[in-house]
Structure 1
């Protein structure tokens, strides 16, 4: 868990890599909502900011860009404090969700726009733009207007335009949201390779966990304006620390207190205390997690096999990829993924009581 309310940008305390990257604490007040979150990114590192609607993701991005004033904290880029620097003078490039390319300009002049605003001459700005378009594989589209570009091409032009100002920090606002589902996978892969070649720090805001897992070196999760989890994508996926993160990565998650091979949990605010069996000894406050695919369902109480067994009621059944997701409520609410054949064979339906079992070896346990 990231420590809250501490200004981590102070002087010589920042690691050497961060002195050339981003080190910030963002405190922003918007009515009753307050964002108070540290953010850091090393040069060449992509940090994804994930969170539910209203968590403060967009506010954080706007604050970094200079479009939102800080109530407290500061923003340091490459060792320079830019907290009070106007947005247009910050060494920051931004790619907006809808790209916001200038429709009356071709790709070359869209990319040259930033350097021209910084005082570069027309020839210099266009030469820099041409080099970036070449780097993006768009040299043959230099004279194309935005309406003639595909979604992926428009995104690369927007990225080139952001990089043309030679930023120390690149901000990406939902960079794949404007693409249809068929284009997302290929453009995501393309964007991953482009970001890997950059030497500036990058902050990516997204609501899509797959975008974060594929594109980011590190993930920061915001909820209600606070950082609730931070770490490499694999660690966040393996060890969720909130219900929101657990839902994103597809795990059943509970918090409890371990005593040997047993964990006492309160799975829901109004639910009775429950017990989860482990395959290893643990002690103290812990999280326990297991995937829905690890849950077996039975019409009758099974004999012996699963060490964790609960009597629950079906609260919904939905198709989930090539599986069927069963929502179960009761003293230990959980999700179970079974095959369509198993659903038909068991004759499961809403409101039916079933037994749900999970082997102790399938339960992951880690410190809270």
Structure 2
């Protein structure tokens, strides 16, 4: 997966100079401890990415003031917010299920925030109408939430969050409730609105595509701590945990390099094109794996392993074979190739990968 560069340059966390978000979020609940540092400049979109239970939603709720901090700090544009109640924070939130008020029209849902900040009813409605116009929803201003499609409800929720001109926008799985077709359309619209947003945005998601498309920077959280962060393209090329490798569709191994050979922690070796020394990661795509039912005669492939088929599943327009044995790995092949090989769970196969198809980098 690749990340499309934004059309205008964005700030980075190193450009903060007192503005933007500077937080260390420590939350302790029983045996679980969340300890995540976050920094973001105005105009930057940061995605918290991680498996269920990693703590990313807890982090988002702590930023919103809905979960108290056990430690750490929270500063936004230089102001300390730890003791500021949720309703007084310059924060807008878009929840996974939108949480629109069912008895209010789209217009009055969006006007709710400005009204709470002291605007008159007429002023708040004027602001709301402007936001609905920007979202392409002017003709639905009088509709109640039950009459809106999922995509329309998401845009109303986003307009409601933006109508108060927040300095921090929090998005909790904003596309999760949408079907695949609507998700594609709304993702593009959300990207455009985030491009125009001048403050900090923090997105929580478990979907790598949402993160890659919408965010300037990814912060990957596992078991309550940050395991990797950086630009989407860098993380996609150089994953550092099995979870990230699976997200971006790579086989990933750790080992020790000596020249062009990496002795894996799993016990076998991989030949690489890079000349490295010391602890490294080695990654390659499932599509780089070639399978044979019999050991290939006269094969010059140095990366050759005997494996067993543990499972088969449809993966896009291909079949993904999960293999165990000398080197556990995933291999992608066409339906025709899978039929010709007679693949089935328990079958023995030989797997090869060319050194040129591997990518090694320091651990």
Match of 1:288 in 2: 282
Measure the CA separation in 1 of the matches of 2:327 and 2:242: 14
**Map of 1:337 onto structure 2:** 332
- Matches of 1:175 and 1:227, distance apart in 2: 22
1:84 aligns with 2:83: yes
2:15 paired with 1:21: no
Residues 1-33 of structure 1: CA distance to partner in whole angstroms, max 9, x if unpaired? xxxxxxxxxxxxx84436221111000001110
Query: Residue 248 of structure 2 corresponds to which residue in structure 1?
Result: 249
Taking structure 2 as the reference length, what is the TM-score of the superposition? 0.94
Q: Give 1:106 shift.
A: 0.8
- 2:320 is matched with 325
Alignment partner, residue 291 of structure 2:
297
CA offset digits 1:285-319 (Å, max 9, x no partner): 11000000000001121223422011111111111
User: In structure 2, how many angstroms separate the alpha carbons of the residues matched to 1:280 and 1:236?
Assistant: 19
State the distance in 2 between where 1:344 and 1:154 align. Answer: 45
Compute the displacement of 1:284 (Å).
1.4
1:4 is matched with none
Q: What aligned pairs does 1:39-78 form with structure 2 within 5 A after superposition?
A: 39-78=38-77
TM-score (norm 1): 0.93
Q: Does structure 1 residue 314 correspond to structure 2 residue 309?
A: yes
Q: Which deviations, in whole Å up to 9, do the C-alpha atoms of 1:99-138 show, x marking residues without a partner?
A: 0111111111111101111111112111111111122122
Contact 1:18 1:40 in 2 (8 A): no
* Structure 2, gaps ≥5 residues long: 1-12
CA-based RMSD of the aligned residues comes to: 1.1
1:118 equivalent in structure 2: 117
- Partner Cα distance (1:125, 1:78) in 2: 25
1:357 matched to which residue of 2?
352
Runs of 4+ in 1 over 6 A off after TM superposition: none
SS in 2 for 1:129: helix
Partner residue, 1:154 = 153
Could you tell me whether the CA contact under 8 Å between 2:15 and 2:41 is conserved in 1?
no
**1:194 maps onto 2:193 in alignment:** yes
Quick one: distance in 2 between partners of 1:18 and 1:191?
28
The alignment partner of 2:197 has SS state of: coil
Q: Show the counterpart of 2:7.
A: none
Paired residues for 1:93-104 under 5 Å: 93-104=92-103
Q: Is the 8 A contact 1:171 1:203 kept in 2?
A: yes
Q: CA offsets per residue over residues 116-172 of structure 1, 9 Å max, x none?
A: 111111121111111111221222221111112111111111111001111100000
Q: Secondary structure at the match of 2:16?
A: helix
* Equivalent residue number for residue 10 of structure 2: none
Separation in 2, partners of 1:242, 1:314: 23
Could you tell me whether the CA contact under 8 Å between 1:305 and 1:359 is conserved in 2? no
Deviation at 1:259, TM superposition (A): 0.4
* Partner SS for 1:105: coil
Counterparts of 1:251 and 1:33, CA distance in 2? 29
